[in-house]
């Protein structure tokens, strides 16, 4: 009767034990990876890290453990994982070079979510665009413009440029530049402008409104009217200030001149006769 070779039995038995061990390792690794992901997610939630960033860190930790478990399983069958690591490193470098712009946007997105120069709902001016922040994602930031256009900006351009958070402060100042005739009396002009400010609704008393003489222009005496208002009221207040100043100057017969130029002729002027 045929008897199997004892070495073959040992070999099969050894591989069977390794396979069972690898399956157990994969199962345990899968459970540990899931636990680790949940722990990272809870830690991010307790630290009040952004939801998008928390999910990313959770998945990153989970997949990192799974990759280590798979490499350990391959090592059980005598497969040299050092070569795998070199291949993964080379592939990662190639992918990184190919996705350099995307990785830059990703890094900028992480910085935006961590440092929070603005949040959803803020009105900002970034990368040459102005609008209300609709969403901050890992690769892009979405703005809605005042005329209801949707702008999607790469985070690299947003974080790498000057960011103006227009609605960051609760109050804002409206500056109105005015030019009046040189014939107008300075003291009377100041009085008229100060009286005009008193009729403007929704302006703040602190900081106090200002009327300032700013310069002597080529065609006019230049003034600035500065009033403060709540950020939500700034545009109606600015319009009301313009209206009040214009009406007050008209009522006081103080002109707002057009640009003009005086031409002087030296010497005699030649005339021709028919």
Q: Domain-by-domain residue ranges, the chain?
A: 6-98, 115-165, 171-251
Lowest mean pLDDT among 52-61, 158-167, 209-218, 244-253: 52-61
Q: Which CATH class is domain 171-251?
A: alpha beta
Q: CB under 8 Å to 201, separation ≥6 — which residues?
A: 237, 240
pTM of the model: 0.58
The number of beta carbons lying within 10 Å of the beta carbon of residue 256 is: 14
| Region 240-261 average pLDDT | 89
Is CATH 3.60.21.10 the right assignment for the domain spanning 6-98?
Answer: no
Question: Quick check: 99 pLDDT over 50?
Answer: no
Question: Per-residue pLDDT averaged across 190-200, rounded?
Answer: 93
pLDDT at 274: 55
Angle at CA of residue 87, ends 83 and 91, nearest 5°? 170
Do residues 54 and 41 lie in contact, with contact meaning Cβ atoms separated by under 8 Å? Answer: yes
- Average pLDDT in the 212-236 region? 93
pLDDT for the residue 81:
63
Low-confidence winner among 38-47, 129-138, 178-187, 196-205 (lowest mean pLDDT): 38-47
* 115-165 CATH fold: SH3 type barrels. (2.30.30)
- Sorted by sequence, the CB contacts under 8 Å of residue 242 that are 6+ apart come out as 176
**How many Cβ atoms sit within 10 Å of the Cβ of residue 273?**
3
Element (H, E) at 217: none
Domains 6-98 and 171-251 share a fold: no
pLDDT band at 271; cut points 50, 70, 90: low
Mean local confidence (pLDDT), 132-138: 88
**pLDDT over 70 for what percent of the chain?**
78
């Amino acid at each position: 009767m045929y008897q199997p070779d004892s070495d073959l039995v040992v070999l099969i038995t050894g591989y069977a034990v390794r396979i069972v061990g690898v399956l157990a390792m994969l199962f345990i690794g899968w459970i540990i990876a899931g636990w680790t992901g949940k722990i990272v997610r809870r830690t991010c939630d307790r630290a009040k890290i952004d939801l998008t960033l928390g999910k990313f860190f959770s998945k990153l930790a989970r997949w990192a453990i799974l990759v280590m478990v798979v490499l350990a399983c391959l090592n059980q069958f005598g497969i040299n994982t050092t070569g795998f690591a070199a291949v993964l490193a080379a592939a990662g470098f190639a992918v990184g070079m190919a996705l350099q712009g995307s990785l830059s946007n990703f890094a900028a997105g992480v910085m935006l979510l961590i440092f929070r120069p603005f949040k959803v709902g803020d009105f900002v001016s970034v990368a040459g665009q102005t609008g209300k922040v609709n969403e901050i994602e890992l690769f892009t930031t979405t703005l809605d413009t005042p005329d209801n256009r949707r702008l999607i900006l790469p985070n690299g351009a947003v974080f790498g440029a000057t960011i103006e958070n227009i609605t960051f402060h609760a109050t804002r100042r409206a500056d109105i530049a005015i030019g009046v005739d040189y014939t107008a009396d300075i003291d009377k002009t100041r009085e008229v402008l100060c009286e005009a400010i008193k009729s403007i609704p929704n302006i703040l008393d602190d900081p106090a409104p200002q009327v300032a003489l700013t310069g002597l222009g080529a065609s006019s005496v230049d003034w600035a009217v500065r009033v403060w208002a709540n950020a939500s009221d700034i545009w109606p207040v600015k319009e009301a200030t313009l209206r009040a100043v214009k009406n007050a100057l008209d009522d006081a017969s103080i002109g707002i001149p057009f640009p003009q130029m005086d031409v002087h002729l030296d010497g005699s002027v030649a005339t021709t006769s028919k």
